[in-house]
Amino acid sequence: MSDERLRRVRDRVRHFPDFPVPGVLFRDISPLLKDPAAFRTLIDLLEDHLRASFPKIDFIAGLDSRGFLIGPPLAQRLGIGFVLIRKKGKLPGPTESVSYALEYGKAELEIQSDAVEPGQKVVIVDDLLATGGTMRAACELIKRLQAEVLECLVIIELKLLKGAEKLNSIPFYSLLQYD
Dump the DSSP string for 27-38: EE-HHHHH-HHH
> What's the pLDDT at 81?
98
Closest of 60, 38, 2, 26 to residue 128, by C-alpha: 26
Q: What are phi and psi of 85, to 5 degrees?
A: -120, 115
| Residue of 47, 66, 77, 148 marked active site | 66
| Cβ atoms of residues 116 and 148 within 8 Å | no
| Cβ atoms of residues 13 and 38 within 8 Å | no
> What's the pLDDT at 41?
98
Quote the CA–CA distance of 82 and 108 in Å, as a whole number: 20
Would you write out the chain's pLDDT as a tens digit for each of its 179 residues? 579 999 999 999 999 999 989 988 999 999 999 999 999 999 999 999 999 999 999 999 999 999 999 999 999 999 999 999 999 999 999 999 999 987 778 999 999 999 999 999 999 999 999 999 999 999 999 999 999 999 999 999 999 999 999 998 899 999 999 98
Domain around 127:
1-177
Q: How many domains does the chain have?
A: 1
**Which CATH number do you get for residue 150?**
3.40.50.2020
Question: What is the H or E stretch that residue 61 is in?
Answer: strand 59-63
> What's the pLDDT at 105?
80
Quote the CA–CA distance of 96 and 24 in Å, as a whole number: 33
Instruction: State yes or no: is 66 an active-site residue.
Output: yes
> What's the pLDDT at 104?
73
> Would residue 119 be called left, alpha or beta, if left means φ above 0 and alpha means ψ between -120 and 50 degrees?
left
> What's the pLDDT at 129?
97
Instruction: State yes or no: is 40 an active-site residue.
Output: no
> What's the pLDDT at 1?
57
Q: By three-state DSSP, how is residue 2 classified?
A: coil
Quote the CA–CA distance of 13 and 27 in Å, as a whole number: 6
Quote the CA–CA distance of 33 and 43 in Å, as a whole number: 11
